[in-house]
Amino acid sequence: MKSPKRRRRLGIFFFAVPVVVIGVLAAFAALTTFGVQNGTIIVRATGNVGSGPVVLSVAATLNGRTIETPYSATLPAGSYTVVFSAVNWYVTPPPHAFTLEGGKTAYAVGIYNPTKEVVGISQAGFNQSAVGALHGVTPVVWANTGSQYVVVVISGAGNVGIAPGQTYSKVFSVPGTYQFSLLNTNLSGQVTVI
């Protein structure tokens, strides 16, 4: 026959073990359901060029931490901001803020559009006579800001007529020096393409 003390201990044991097991299972379920889950962040930068978009490798910051694109990481759910760095010949995209949800993938894509070099044309001539451009990327735009029709002679493009308020754009695909002038005048300039 078992002593009353021993029966009491066995009773406590058989009562306590299921309570502890249920408590551990409930805590695990709560952590799994309500805990912070990770998500995936993908950061990319693309540059628009004459032949279409290309992937760029640029420095950026992700919540203050420096990264290099393309970049991918598994991070806790939360709010993030990507700030893309400046790249020569391109307009810097604005910062990209987003919320990463657990178990999901968030994308931050910086689209770099080429900077334009604009040559204004008026009755007084060109507003600039020396322009720099990156071959295959930088559009050089001649804009007629005057009130008369003009013809611009551009090496590699020939004679280009531009009506008042209109423009002509060219992306030079080969490095070199290209001359431009206003037909029947001594007004000229050059585009240096690197």
Residue range 14-65, pLDDT digits in tens: 665 666 667 666 655 555 555 568 999 999 999 987 667 889 999 999 999 9
Q: Does the pLDDT at position 3 exceed 90?
A: no
Say if CB 170 and CB 138 are below 8 A apart. no
Least-confidence region, from 17-21, 70-74, 133-137: 17-21
* 105, 158: one domain: no
Q: Does the pLDDT at position 100 exceed 90?
A: yes
* 129, 169: one domain: yes
Asked if residue 10 is part of any domain, the answer here is: no
* 173, 160: one domain: yes
CATH number at residue 69: 2.60.40.10
Domain-ending residue, one of 114, 140, 166: 114
Structural domains of the chain, count: 2
Asked if residue 146 is part of any domain, the answer here is: yes
Domain-ending residue, one of 77, 97, 114: 114
Asked if residue 157 is part of any domain, the answer here is: yes
| pLDDT for res 49 | 75
Asked if residue 105 is part of any domain, the answer here is: yes
| pLDDT for res 151 | 94
| pLDDT for res 66 | 96
Say if CB 120 and CB 145 are below 8 A apart. yes
Asked if residue 33 is part of any domain, the answer here is: no
Residue range 139-190, pLDDT digits in tens: 999 999 999 999 999 998 899 999 999 999 999 999 999 999 999 888 999 9
Q: What gap in Å lies between CA 97 and CA 81, rounded to an integer?
A: 4
* 45, 108: one domain: yes
Angle at 12 between CA 8 and CA 10, to 5 degrees: 55
| pLDDT for res 53 | 84
CATH number at residue 175: 2.60.40.420
Asked if residue 32 is part of any domain, the answer here is: no
Provide long-range contacts, Cβ within 8 A and 24+ apart, for 154-159: 154/178, 154/179, 154/180, 155/179, 155/180, 159/183
Q: Does the pLDDT at position 70 exceed 70?
A: yes
User: What range defines the domain where residue 66 resides?
Assistant: 38-114
Domain-ending residue, one of 114, 149, 166: 114
Say if CB 61 and CB 83 are below 8 A apart. yes
